[in-house]
């Protein structure tokens, strides 16, 4: 079943030309991401409630360590985990940030997961987060963003929304009870982020990491348009490992045959120490 066929599952039959609302089925990868994002939010929110003043340092440490902190990206110290972990944290003082991100993840993440499958969807989600982080770090290098930790799943989620719009630009969505095509909604969101990214580069402080949004959006657009998102990278890795294992087994079999022939012809004493070690290793690999 192709992408176009899979999208038919999301189209409701229209009666009398009206728009019908249908809540999507919660898919497994989206369910996992909802659980993780909400879980970390609750942890950062509840720690100060139960542990008092000492917990403030814990929450700040978590955000500065696992958030995307541009000033920490200097040799020899490179926190390579931040381009992924920053997307799992949300400001515990801003419930609205988490709410809108999770709402978009529920509606458009489930839509995209139905098309790509769980593993490819998770790859797309992670790719959006990493692309957003990369663009944010480049903007920080240019001095266009404030030097403070950036957190939130917005980059990954905007990548998911844009990818969904590439696959189904004409899908009708409700934006504050106003029906519009998904293509129009995404164009407005990206234009909004682009405007404020340029404004913030000029010194305006918005409190939002617009470059992260744009990086995620770019990944979602090109990933869907170029077909990258439909590639199962995990399956390709497994296939490559299987091929390498088969090739290694074939080489081992050829080596064992050659050494056994030499033993038959000249006796085991004719083998060098290196050949004996090769024969031993090849036999051990064969038994695994």
Query: Which token pair is 272?
Result: 């060098």
Average pLDDT over residues 258-268: 80
Query: Which token pair is 185?
Result: 């909604």
pLDDT interval class at 20 (50, 70, 90): low
Average per-residue pLDDT for the chain: 84
Cis peptide before 147 (omega within 30 of 0): no
Alpha helices by DSSP H, 52-204: 54-66, 82-85, 95-104, 110-116, 118-141, 154-167, 182-201
Cα–Cα distance for residue pair 66/60, rounded to 1 Å? 10
The answer on pLDDT for 287 being more than 70 is: no
Task: Report the run of H or E that residue 78 belongs to, with start and end.
Answer: none
Burial class from Cβ neighbours inside 10 Å (0-12, 13-18, 19+) for residue 87 reads: buried
What is the structure's pLDDT at 54?
A: 56
**CATH code assigned to 3-231:** 1.20.1540.10
- CB of 185 within 8 A of CB of 175? yes
What pLDDT, in 10s, does the model give residues 117-176? 998 999 999 999 999 999 999 999 998 988 889 999 999 999 999 999 999 898 888 877
The closest of 195, 225, 223, 229 to 211, measured between CA atoms, is 195
Non-local (6+) Cβ contacts of 120 within 8 A are: 229, 230, 231, 232, 233
Cα–Cα distance for residue pair 40/42, rounded to 1 Å? 5
Domain residue extents for the chain: 3-231, 236-287
Number of Cβ atoms within 10 Å of the Cβ of 262:
15
Cα–Cα distance for residue pair 107/109, rounded to 1 Å? 6
Radius of gyration over every alpha carbon of the chain, rounded to an integer in angstroms: 26
Cα–Cα distance for residue pair 251/20, rounded to 1 Å? 62
What pLDDT, in 10s, does the model give residues 193-218? 999 999 888 766 777 899 999 999 99
Flag the least confident range among 8-12, 73-77, 131-135. Answer: 8-12
């Amino acid at each position: 079943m192709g992408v176009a066929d899979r999208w038919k599952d999301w189209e409701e039959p229209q009666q009398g030309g009206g728009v019908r609302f249908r809540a999507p089925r919660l898919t497994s990868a989206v369910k996992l991401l909802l659980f993780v994002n909400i879980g970390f939010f609750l942890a950062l929110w509840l720690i100060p409630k139960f542990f008092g003043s000492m917990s403030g340092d814990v929450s700040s440490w978590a955000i500065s360590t696992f958030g995307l902190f541009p000033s920490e990206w200097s040799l020899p110290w490179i926190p390579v985990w931040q381009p992924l972990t920053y997307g799992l944290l949300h400001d515990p003082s801003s419930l609205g940030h988490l709410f809108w991100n999770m709402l978009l993840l529920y509606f458009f993440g489930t839509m995209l997961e139905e098309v790509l499958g769980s593993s490819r969807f998770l790859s797309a989600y992670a790719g959006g987060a990493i692309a957003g982080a990369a663009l944010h770090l480049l903007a920080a290098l240019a001095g266009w963003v404030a030097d403070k930790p950036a957190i939130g799943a917005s980059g990954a989620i905007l990548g998911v929304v844009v990818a969904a719009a590439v696959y189904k630009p004409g899908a009708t969505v409700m934006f504050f009870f106003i029906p519009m095509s998904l293509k129009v909604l995404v164009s407005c969101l990206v234009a909004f982020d682009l405007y404020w990214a340029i404004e913030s580069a000029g010194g305006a402080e918005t409190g939002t990491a617009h470059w992260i949004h744009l990086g995620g959006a770019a990944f979602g657009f090109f990933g869907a348009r170029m077909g990258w998102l439909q590639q199962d990278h995990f399956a390709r890795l497994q296939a490559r490992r299987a091929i390498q294992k088969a090739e290694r087994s074939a080489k081992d079999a050829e080596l064992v045959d050659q050494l056994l022939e030499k033993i038959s012809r000249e006796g085991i004493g004719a083998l060098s120490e290196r050949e004996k070690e090769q024969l031993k290793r090849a036999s051990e690999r064969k038994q695994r």
